[in-house]
Amino acid sequence: MAKLLVLTVLGLGLGLIRDYRSSYRTRLNAAREVIPVELLNCHLVKGIDTGSEDLEILPNGLTFISSGLKYPGIKSFELNKPGKILLMDLNEEDPAALDLKITGSNFDLTSFNPHGISTFTDEDNTVYLLVVNHPDFKSTVELFKFQKEEKSLLHLKTIKHELLPNLNDLVAMGPEQFYATNDHYFADSYLRSWEMYLGLAWSYVVYYSPNDVRVVADRFDFANGINISPDGKYVYISELLAHKIHVYEKHANWTLTPLKWLTFNTLVDNLSVDPVTGDVWVGCHPNGMKIFFYDAEDPPASEVIQIQNILTDEPKVTQVYADNGTVLQGSTVASVYKGKLLIGTVFHKALYCEL
């Protein structure tokens, strides 16, 4: 009887492990292969070789790009060098990315590890750049003031809070006010790995201001990109491992009410919103297994989707670009400016195309 009980328990345990492994592979979309979708007149951006994880295009075409991210479990081609913020001018004939100088006596450049970024422009046209930073694999938000003439960033403040332990992306509501995604619940690396493997869906979104910090949305399986509609009424959140983009209504007291979600056959990463049309552009990972388990002989693919009329009952979803990793590996973000498309990656290059 005792042996039978032990065998039964072992059988149940092995069955659960198989179930979780199957679910894990499904959530990572491990079986998907990509059929390329090409665009005309594409070229790799000069000056970007170690990632362009997130980008933000100002109305005048100046573009901030975060580069050099080191993230647990993700490939990095420059592990021993700090990250940086790059600047491009998309009005130029052949725009290249240049390093932005960072000034400020209290900012440690040696541990700079930028992730998601967002800008806020105040009434006197001062541009603030908010950057998710992972110094020593912790999480902070760094506040910078953009100095256009000097082509530099002045560091103003570092923001930390217990409700911001695993930051991924943010969308600025003011110089010191934002919504941000935490892509895990646990800060401990061992617990994070089990949280992800088991699909606990405990990650969440926080509203932050100097006087008010609170969770405004939760129960995500890896909350990732976040952005806001041009009229400021709706917040969009990507749930990477559930392959979903959620639409929330934003209220005057900064709370969020869920309205709906869209499901895709790809892992949705960062979200960009066209300020004119309201279209949502998404950098995606067709096969997440190739992102988290990098193989240079079989590199991760890239994919860009465009969502038109996202607030209607029948949004239109278009696969605009896809590559099997031959040209671009691990796309995380895509944004448009005057008929051009700029695509960033987590650790690889960036691509600039005509639409």
295 is in an annotated binding site: no
Query: In whole angstroms, what is the distance from residue 83 CA to residue 57 CA?
Result: 19
54 is in an annotated binding site: yes
> In this structure, which amino acid lies at residue 196?
M
89 is in an annotated binding site: no
Q: Given 3-state DSSP classes, what are the helix, strand and coil percentages for the chain, each rounded to the nearest 5?
A: 15, 45, 40
Look at residue 174 in the predicted model and tell me its pLDDT. Answer: 98
Q: How many CB atoms lie within 10 A of CB 60?
A: 12
Q: Note if 115 is an active site residue.
A: yes
Which one of the listed residues 43, 115, 155, 348 is annotated catalytic? 115
Look at residue 208 in the predicted model and tell me its pLDDT. Answer: 98
CB-CB contact of 181 with 226 (8 Å): yes
User: With the C-alpha atoms ordered 86, 281, 167, 301, is the resulting torsion angle positive or negative?
Assistant: negative
> In this structure, which amino acid lies at residue 273?
V
102 is in an annotated binding site: no
pLDDT beneath 50, residues of the chain: 3-14, 16
- Dihedral angle, C-alpha 172, 206, 86, 120, nearest 10 °: 10
Look at residue 9 in the predicted model and tell me its pLDDT. Answer: 37
Helix or strand run (H / E) with residue 183: none
DSSP at 124: T
Look at residue 313 in the predicted model and tell me its pLDDT. Answer: 96
Look at residue 106 in the predicted model and tell me its pLDDT. Answer: 86
CB-CB contact of 37 with 284 (8 Å): no
- Dihedral angle, C-alpha 68, 73, 75, 79, nearest 10 °: 50
Look at residue 18 in the predicted model and tell me its pLDDT. Answer: 54
Query: In whole angstroms, what is the distance from residue 166 CA to residue 179 CA?
Result: 13
323 is in an annotated binding site: no
Look at residue 15 in the predicted model and tell me its pLDDT. Answer: 52
